[in-house]
Structure 1
């Protein structure tokens, strides 16, 4: 009989029956068995402060009572019916999301994931515009389906160049790198807009849409200046091109300043299409598309969704959304996120090139002494953070950016605790690195002795960690 507390057998079984490209974190992957609030536990009884939320998905809290109650009550009535039948929780959730979206005359279509939501948005845009030409941002990520890979501008997450879409990539996703990095914010926006205009002037035929993340998630929580997409939208509107705002990671108040990421670019009005997923379900399989009615209704063939908008997922998501709004978790993300960002910036570690983001969507970019990306440092920090009891994520084109995205109910005390653990993990990773060993800057907080007096060293390198699960 297997020992449920020993993960080695489960690791072997996992690797035997799942694809080799299915990445897992850590040299010795862990199984999370339960959670409460902002904490989770693994199969060996270790407790962790969760600063990644199952990839920005546990939006309010683990085992949030209102969500658990709504799911349990709905499960006791009916689990499934498909969109062929009416559903009160689906309609109620759609009504609330349509109102919150800011899109006039909005209609909502539910899916089971962010990938499927973006896939549906691309279907709507290309059908509405009668064109397969799509604009996307460099360094972007929009999902793992065939169509969404075709608009992903991040080579680490684009396994094929084959696509039914003709995709053209524009500048603007990364403020601090690239040919326009030296410009002021206004100059950066003007240069990106001029690049977009020039690109459109050379494209034959109609372009269907620009799909863009207000803050790039898998790309390492990068973004252009506020107002960039407002300027883009004015260009797009002159050409009749739709704007799809991919809010899979930026939605529901995570950025603190705004409920949706697009609202940082609001002076040109809302997007034509908005996609969402992750946090709204708090772990339930939920995604969707919001669009102007004329765009949503443009399909000329029959369509349904077997699982999108199911009674159990919409009941749970509705309870989750109501809790988020009642508790002003957007405001909490703004306040606590600012404290967390401030603490990380004040640490002043040489291995950290930049701490960026807003609200509780924070990226920490790591480099070597030559200022080049250091994925090895990110892998080391990930391991040390886990040893210290903190779960974080990783991303960026080079895999050198730590992604910090805890549940939006994170307390100030938990933020301070997590910041302290992360700073210690960064110090340990910096001390481990031969690249930083001779650095002039002090490496205070080098590996501390454990309770048994043994030094905690860097975990063995695992190549799978160079690929960050989205």
Structure 2
């Protein structure tokens, strides 16, 4: 046991999880690679939980941070903040939401917490519809709407939460249906649920569930939901903390796979836009954003230094078409992983889009989740020089793969080869 690990255990909560039997300390990174304190080099296929979105030590971002730090680091939202206004203008334009207003926070949890505040105040209701197997953060309000028991440590809640079918395509009572029949069944479930509730404020949903194991419904489900929600006056919150900024390749936002009935009422974002800086936020049309009748500020949300980083990061992403790279390289990677999976009886499913890919493991010949196998593959991949994540609503049996969006074809092939060896070694 390393000295740093012993010190960690002495001062940290027991529930603050660390990966690996022998946890590693990452000391520096460059591009798609990181190094640990022992000098080992790893190909990074998880990006600090989908947060190092473009690259480690991206020169454009580090330069922007250094220049802004030399001017002023902090001011709060009590003063005009040019980088924050510039970033808000760009996000409002990209969001697809008409007459959009943007509020910056420091995390996805805080962004979703703010979205819940807006929706419940606007609708004057504390009822929230959420998806089964979902994850929305670690605050008191967001754990209370999280549909994944492993990440919801208390049943006490300021909200009344009702859970809807549809987030997981290949498990549950509708798994055997066609995509069209699946959508009809989920819509019927939503209609029935609304018939037994008073006045829900909003439905919050991840277009692709992150912690839940990169699961998603067929394209169009949330468009069909939107028709029902609109009839009842219920808002739609799209949690884009993991799916935003082009990671899915086909779309800039995850909601755009369900865009027949327009954008969501509220959109939340975080993680990748700061490329490691603490940035989150909420976008909503003015009518919704301005519904609060009390003062509010953010001490750290939208700080000059995090906004400078985000502006540089967003500019790099757009100028280098990283969404297109996610589509092209992600498409090659998922096909390569499906070929790898075909040789492994432990793999139940390879799913995802762009550079957001999940490999679900199950005990061979069954649909029973196999978290021990997932943990073994995580260890074997690390030993082979590859960092990946894990998740899933069924006992953490999904390998989560989400590299920086600058991933090259050669790096995708290298990572897939290491995963093939890890699956074999763990199998």
Task: Tell me the C-alpha RMSD between the 2 structures.
Answer: 0.6
Question: In the aligned structure 2, how far is the partner of 1:233 from the partner of 1:150?
Answer: 23
2:91 is aligned, of 81, 85, 97, to 97
Question: In the aligned structure 2, how far is the partner of 1:392 from the partner of 1:244?
Answer: 29
2:345 is aligned, of 337, 342, 350, to 350
1:307-363, Cα deviation, whole Å (9 max, x unpaired)? 000000000001000000000000000000011000110121111110000000000
SS at match of 2:137: coil
Q: For structure 1, which runs of at least 5 residues remain unmatched after alignment? A: 1-6, 431-470
Matches within 5 A, 1:2-151: 8-151=2-145
Instruction: Give the C-alpha shift of residue 252 in structure 1.
Output: 0.3
Question: In the aligned structure 2, how far is the partner of 1:383 from the partner of 1:366?
Answer: 15
Instruction: Give the C-alpha shift of residue 371 in structure 1.
Output: 2.9
Q: Which runs of 4+ in 1 moved over 3 A?
A: none
1:458 is matched with: none
Q: Which moved more, 1:63-72 or 1:362-371?
A: 362-371
SS at match of 1:202: coil
Question: In the aligned structure 2, how far is the partner of 1:393 from the partner of 1:11?
Answer: 20
2:251 is matched with: 258
SS at match of 2:188: helix
Question: In the aligned structure 1, how far is the partner of 2:103 from the partner of 2:378?
Answer: 37
Q: Would you say 1:231 and 2:227 are equivalent positions?
A: no
1:391 is matched with: 387
Question: In the aligned structure 2, how far is the partner of 1:107 from the partner of 1:255?
Answer: 24
2:357 is matched with: 362
1:349-400, Cα deviation, whole Å (9 max, x unpaired)? 1111100000000000001123310000000000000000000000001100
2:234 is matched with: 241
Q: Would you say 1:423 and 2:420 are equivalent positions?
A: yes
Question: In the aligned structure 2, how far is the partner of 1:53 from the partner of 1:114?
Answer: 16
Q: Which moved more, 1:246-255 or 1:361-370?
A: 361-370
1:272 is aligned, of 262, 265, 290, to 265
Question: In the aligned structure 1, how far is the partner of 2:389 from the partner of 2:97?
Answer: 32
Task: State the number of aligned residues.
Answer: 423
Question: In the aligned structure 2, how far is the partner of 1:24 from the partner of 1:30?
Answer: 9
2:399 is matched with: 402
1:191-228, Cα deviation, whole Å (9 max, x unpaired)? 0000000000011x211000000000000000110000
2:367 is matched with: 371
TM-score normalised over the length of structure 2: 0.99
Matches within 5 A, 1:292-303: 292-303=285-296
1:209 is matched with: 202
Larger radius of gyration: 1
1:10-50, Cα deviation, whole Å (9 max, x unpaired)? 00000110000000000000000000000000000000000
Question: In the aligned structure 2, how far is the partner of 1:429 from the partner of 1:328?
Answer: 37
1:238-268, Cα deviation, whole Å (9 max, x unpaired)? 0010000000000000000000000000001
Q: For structure 2, which runs of at least 5 residues remain unmatched after alignment? A: none
Question: In the aligned structure 2, how far is the partner of 1:357 from the partner of 1:174?
Answer: 12
1:167 is aligned, of 127, 148, 161, to 161
SS at match of 2:2: helix
Question: In the aligned structure 2, how far is the partner of 1:291 from the partner of 1:25?
Answer: 36
Question: In the aligned structure 1, how far is the partner of 2:319 from the partner of 2:421?
Answer: 35
Question: In the aligned structure 2, how far is the partner of 1:218 from the partner of 1:164?
Answer: 23
